[in-house]
Amino acid sequence: MRLRVSDIPDEGIRLHEPADLGEVFAEDGWTLDRVDLSIARRGGEVAVAGSFGVTARLTCSRCLEPLRATVAPEVDFCLQPCPTAHEEVELGRDDLEVDFYREDTLDVAGLVRSEAELALPMKPLCRADCRGLCPTCGANRNLTSCGCGAPRIDPRLAPLEALKRRD
């Protein structure tokens, strides 16, 4: 969904239905479950506040099994017109929540997409006690126990192992 900033009414816009935003995610398995956003114009600035819920299909970072992750970020930030090439803008500490829009157009779906991606865990896990893959044979240790045993220690690291046992 793209909005012309100059067309935003004085009372603002409320978005309550995911269908209002159109197609937000191009990836299969990603869905926008709920949305509650308010968009208000204050002169040239645009304030976006509210929350939304997203379900994403990810891969466990330990065992590589598919998983579904749900995030529900709260957003509250300001967008300003993008400065021209000749205009310099210095951002301060209070400007960390400021972003820019270009050519009187606000890409609301793009904002939702980027905020959802930022809210995802850096290392998604299928469960907290995921045992991962065996480094020797590659078996999923959550499903089977392989007979590979403990990995051999590189002889160059043996002095470090001795220090570890001593502590």
Task: Tell me the average pLDDT across 29-35.
Answer: 91
Per DSSP, the residues of 12-61 read -EEE--GGGG-----STT-EEEEEEEEEEEETTEEEEEEEEEEEEEEE-T
The confidence score (pLDDT) of residue 121 equals: 93
| Predicted model pTM | 0.75
Residues 6+ apart with CB under 8 A from 12: 38, 39, 40, 41
Residues 6+ apart with CB under 8 A from 137: 146, 148
pLDDT tier at 73, thresholds 50, 70, 90: very high
The confidence score (pLDDT) of residue 101 equals: 80
76 forms beta bridges with: 49
The confidence score (pLDDT) of residue 164 equals: 83
